[in-house]
Structure 1
Amino acid sequence: MPAIAVGPLPGRLAQVVEGYRTDSALRLLGSLHDNRAVAVLGLCTVERAVTAVHIAVAPSCQGLGLGRELLKAAVTKFDFRRITARTATEAVGFYRRCGFSVGSLGEVYPGVERFDCTLDVIRAWPGGRRRQVDHLRSSHSRPGSPLPGAMPRRR
């Protein structure tokens, strides 16, 4: 399932996994069901900003709110002010439903439009992060779906 987030190039998944194991700026959150990863969110943290570099949900689990729950877990777990992502047309609706502002980067590759997505985490007043986390909750989330948890880092 994690290969969904990194593409089909030979060796790419192993390269990305090694990065999460060795780079202290990279974090990986996951949602497990029956001891199998059904959703992953890879983050790159720099100071108080974070970029979602990989996000994927197993096709059989899409629409259950797992991607949104992983974003919520990231907001809760890490102390940052903004989360950004770059994505393709297919994922723009997901980010918009999660409260991200979305702007086109134009045609980055021939025939491929990419988008910059940004979610500002409100911290200027008490309870700001809590309200943003509540916003990430949705009526689309179903009770009883697997809860996100940190996937252990190996050194």
Structure 2
Amino acid sequence: MLRPAPALSPEIAALLSRAMFPDPARIARVLAAYRTGPDRAVFVWEVGGVAVSAAGMRVAGAEAEVLHIGTRPDGTGQGHGRALLWAIAAHLKLSRLVAETDEDAVGFYRRSGFEIGGAPDRGGRRRFLCTLTLER
């Protein structure tokens, strides 16, 4: 079940942190931006009342960008992240959802129905622009 997360509990922060470069200062800055950014939103996918996946988004009208998405280690590969993204798109009535990612996560976006294109390499890593176009 989808739940907006206006407050970042330690549990939700830990889920989002799974999708971030492991630098404590950088993670703290990103989490602070989720707490204060007017264009930022965090959503949680719960199963049996337990948060199993969380996504941090930048929202601009009918379009949004997935900035971070993380799933509990014991919940990966079960469709929770995909269900979360599709539920967010429906909840926000999005026409377009995008994400930039690397080779480690591009398969997730492909399996979730996103079209995959190239993006400029960053930090010596190949990057991909993933786009999900939706009917409103």
TM tier, smaller = 0.7 to 0.9
Pick 1 or 2: higher relative contact order, CA cutoff 8 A, min separation 6.
1
Q: Please name the residue that 1:40 is paired with.
A: 54
SS of 2:74's equivalent in the other structure is helix
Look up the equivalent residue of 1:14 and give its one-letter code: A
Partner Cα distance (2:29, 2:46) in 1: 22
List per-residue Cα deviations over 1:9-68 (Å, max 9, x = no partner): 022222222211111211101124576533111110112210000011122110111101
List per-residue Cα deviations over 1:95-141 (Å, max 9, x = no partner): 1111110012253332x100000000113xxxxxxxxxxxxxxxxxx
| 1:115 maps to 2:112 | no
Partner Cα distance (2:132, 2:46) in 1: 25
SS of 2:27's equivalent in the other structure is helix
Equivalent positions of 1:76-155 (< 5 A) are 76-110=90-124, 112-123=125-136
Q: Please name the residue that 2:81 is paired with.
A: 67
Partner Cα distance (1:19, 1:46) in 2: 16
Segments of 5+ residues of structure 1 without an aligned counterpart are 124-155
Q: Which has the higher strand share?
A: 2
List per-residue Cα deviations over 1:64-104 (Å, max 9, x = no partner): 11101111111111022100000011111111111110012
Q: 1:28 aligns with which of 11, 22, 42?
A: 42
RMSD of the TM alignment (CA)?
Answer: 1.8
TM-score, scaled relative to structure 1: 0.71
Partner Cα distance (1:80, 1:35) in 2: 26
How far 1:5 moved relative to its partner? 1.5
Look up the equivalent residue of 1:54 and give its one-letter code: H
Look up the equivalent residue of 2:73 and give its one-letter code: P
Look up the equivalent residue of 1:77 and give its one-letter code: H
> How many residues of Structure 1 are paired with residues of Structure 2 in the alignment?
122
Bigger Cα Rg: 1
SS of 1:114's equivalent in the other structure is strand
